[in-house]
Amino acid sequence: MNRFFRYRYGVIGILCVMYFITYIDRVNISVAGPEIAKALGLNKTQLGFVFSAFAYPYAAMQILGGWFSDKYGPRFTLTLLGVIWSVATIWTGFSGGILTLVLSRVLLGIGEGGAFPTATRAFTWWLPKGERGFAQGITHSFARLGGAVTPPIVAWLVLARDWRFAFISLGMVSLLWVVWWYFWFRDSPLQKKGVSPQEIDEIGAAVIAQSSKKAPPTPWAEMIRRMWLVTFVDFCYGWSLWVFLTWLPSFFADTYKVDLKKMALFSTLTLLAGVVGDTLGGVLSDFIYRRTGNLRLARLSLLIVGLGGAVCFMVPAPFAKSVETAVWLLAGAFFMIELTNAVLWSLPIDIAGRYGGTAAGMMNTGFGVAGMIAPVAFGFLIQNTGNYKLAFLLSAGLLAIGAICAFFINPNKHVVDPTEAPVAPTTAPTAG
């Protein structure tokens, strides 16, 4: 085997593609929103409700999807979920009114709701502790890249034909990924042909040995005690992320009266900052852990700096006189917000180990609940104040609260397996 090649990097790669695709399928509605609103006669509040319809089943599916992946494995679970979200994306293109539009978004939320917890569960048996921050950072940077390139992609598809064609085309691409995942991925390195003993040792023989054992009952009470604060911080983070993913194009269009092409460009430039933030946050967290051996410092420093720094950029953003200034400020805020994302997704594995899928679902329920509320609340405030200022200030306030709460998270307090001793993923930090 080539000494530079590791199958676990292939796992990271295929999941990077998944994160990229799911965010395109998730964000496309915000870019096509103005065109859909014209075609179906929707006002701002109704459009906000369409944006948020995705989040209700998305939140409900977090724990269920994570638990399902813990029980039945990420290969089967992601195959099933991928078919669902692909069909939902295609169906959106056939929507004839607000009811069918909402129903298609609900189905999309069901499909994508368990996807990220399941991906996190896949990393449990495939990655050593010292590479998890990087893996979560790079996969989520691809999610942000998907969100960033969605505006020009969807704008091009809409201008080339119409908004319906955009959804149908993107759904077909998702189906291709599902086929790839099913035939290439295996739940454990032990099940994948070609994985060398050297790589198994690098990942952690003790961890992989556990992959062949029957999963013990999930310690729900212990999981809730360890994860509730992480879930709340994820809610504070998720509120602002949903605002960026749903209302950013409309903010540029309404506030600065830009056309579709410029709206897409400014949205893309802003969201690209998150691509850098996601990757850098994961790399920095792993670097701090390798240098200090202090997992709490490695995780919490990025959470506090990221959330707190985002407040400094977001507060002045809606008061910017020019669209260029607004883009720079919002890009700075989005960069700082995304520094925290890899850490948030690493914490469930750090805390819960073999229950990482369920724990990731618990955490991301906070994000899902934020998605239920934020798009509608943002739209309501815009419609009733006539501008975006109060809505952005509310988002900044929640980020500040999240930064304060992050001080009290401790990834060294692990979930105790009620039937066997906890398994240490690695005996020492492993270089990425």
Confirm whether 344 is domain-assigned.
yes
- The one-letter amino acid code at 331 reads A
Q: Which residue, chain included where needed, has tokens 């959804």?
A: 167
Confirm whether 159 is domain-assigned.
yes
- Give the domain CATH number at 51: 1.20.1250.20
Full-model pTM: 0.72
Question: What are residue 425's phi and psi, to 5 degrees?
Answer: -55, -40
Please state, in angstroms and rounded to a whole number, the distance separating the CA atoms of residues 284 and 293. Answer: 13
Q: Which three-class secondary structure state does DSSP give residue 329?
A: helix
Confirm whether 431 is domain-assigned.
no
Burial profile 212-233: b = 16 or more Cβ within 10 angstroms, e = fewer = eeeeeebbeebbeebbebbbbb
Q: What domain range includes position 363?
A: 7-188+215-406
Confirm whether 348 is domain-assigned.
yes
Please give the tally of structural domains in the chain.
1
Confirm whether 156 is domain-assigned.
yes
pLDDT by 10s per residue, the chain, length 432:
445 567 788 888 999 999 999 989 888 887 787 788 888 877 777 777 787 788 788 888 888 888 888 888 899 999 999 999 999 999 988 887 888 888 988 999 999 988 988 888 888 788 777 777 788 788 888 887 887 788 788 888 888 888 888 899 999 999 999 999 999 998 888 777 877 777 777 777 555 555 556 666 778 888 888 899 999 999 999 999 888 877 888 888 888 888 777 877 888 888 888 888 888 888 898 889 888 888 889 889 999 999 999 999 999 998 999 999 999 999 999 999 999 988 898 898 888 877 777 888 888 889 888 888 887 888 888 888 888 889 899 999 999 999 999 999 988 877 765 433 333 333 333 332
Which among 273, 281, 425 has a CA at the least distance from the CA of 345?
Answer: 281
Which among 178, 139, 135 has a CA at the least distance from the CA of 6?
Answer: 135
